[in-house]
Structure 1
Amino acid sequence: MSTVLIVDDAQFMRTMLSKLVEEEGYEVVGEAVNGIDAVQKYQELNPDLVTMDITMPEMDGIEAMVEIKKVDPDAKIIVCSAMGQKPMVVDALEAGAEDFIVKPIKPEKVKEAMKNILS
């Protein structure tokens, strides 16, 4: 079973994403509330996929992706962010994101992205 780490500073987003992940038959192995937390949890849990918010306290999602990619160049990350401006999307993809989903997220889009990356 594929495992997923959910990174978002908003509890309601983590809850909603967890539900989507589990509906698709994947396992949520952890949740992180900021980039620093995300990097630590990634190293501990070694998930198959990460959903990453960008705007978070302490360390943002772009920095966290860069750190995670240093540890594991093959890390699979989907960015889920309200910051859908083109430069932000480009930054995320350059940092190694597999996909970029703009909030408010559409459940089908998240499920499709997970399937594409994990299958």
Structure 2
Amino acid sequence: MTRPTAVIADDHALIRQGIRQMLVSGGIDVVAEAADGLEAIAMVKKHQPHLLTLDIAMPYSRGIEVFTEARRWAPQTRIVVFSGLTSTALLGELAHAGADAIFLKREELKAFSDAIPHIVEGRNVLGPGVAELIDASGSAGVLTARELQIVGLVAQGLNNRDMAARLGVSTKTVDNHRTNLMRKVGVHSVAELLAYALREGLLDASRET
């Protein structure tokens, strides 16, 4: 039987080494490692691995963007996300996008090690910390992909008319999205929305470590 293969994507060499040891112990061949988002996408396209372990915050490309491109070029690859961020919006976005497994970096490594056989078999796994955060937040705490786009455009200083032109929708639609997301996160001004986005790591996750 052919052994499963994996690509490890993380900008910290020590973390890549630890993940490699766990994967190899779990009977998986590591065929490549990547230290940034662009390299991760290239390695996934080249090797079409059974498994990709993905740091959500790496240089050159946000983890959610790497996730989307990996899905595009290697739809059969199972993707395990590691996050140093505890944003329920980000974790919820990843879960909604179809991440096969999500773990917080602060969790015990044993949680991932124990889950490897289940992930390879095709089961979806949430680390204990991730499941707790998502359960505690409820569905109201999870922003949609469009709402996350709106947050990014607000951060760029665009008004509703400019956002509508950028997104190809009506100004009224933008206003509805903006109103809904501000109600979801419990803020009442642009300044409060931006403070929330910075705190939750939604504006530029690639700058987080």
TM > 0.5 fold call: yes
Note if 1:90 corresponds to 2:92: yes
Match of 1:110 in 2: 112
- Structure 2: which amino acid aligns with 1:65? F
Match of 1:57 among 56, 59, 73: 59
User: Could you tell me how far 1:107 is from its partner in structure 2?
Assistant: 2.3
TM-score under structure 1 length normalisation: 0.92
Match of 2:82 in 1: 80
3-state DSSP of counterpart to 1:97 = coil
Cα distance in 1, alignment partners of residues 55 and 119 from structure 2? 18
Match of 2:102 in 1: 100
Deviation readout 1:57-97 (Å, 9 max, x if unpaired) = 10021100101111122321010111122111112223331
Q: Contact (CA 8 Å) 2:44, 2:74: kept in 1 or not? A: no
Note if 1:29 corresponds to 2:31: yes
Aligned length: 119
Cα distance change of structure 1 residues 103 and 9 upon mapping to structure 2, 3 Å threshold: same
Q: Contact (CA 8 Å) 1:66, 1:96: kept in 2 or not? A: no
Match of 2:6 in 1: 4
How large is the RMSD of aligned CA atoms in angstroms?
A: 1.3
Structure whose residues are more often strand by fraction: 1
Match of 1:67 in 2: 69
Cα distance in 2, alignment partners of residues 105 and 22 from structure 1? 20
Structure whose residues are more often helix by fraction: 2
Cα distance in 2, alignment partners of residues 94 and 57 from structure 1? 24
Cα distance change of structure 1 residues 82 and 89 upon mapping to structure 2, 3 Å threshold: same
Greater RCO (CA < 8 Å, at least 6 residues apart): 1
Q: Contact (CA 8 Å) 1:101, 1:110: kept in 2 or not? A: yes
3-state DSSP of counterpart to 2:30 = strand
Cα distance in 2, alignment partners of residues 88 and 23 from structure 1? 30
Cα distance in 1, alignment partners of residues 80 and 86 from structure 2? 13
Say which one has the larger Rg.
Answer: 2
60-69 or 100-109, larger mean C-alpha shift: 100-109
3-state DSSP of counterpart to 1:108 = helix
* Structure 1 outlier segments of 4+, above 3 Å: none
Q: Runs of 5+ in structure 2 lacking a partner?
A: 122-209
Match of 1:20 in 2: 22
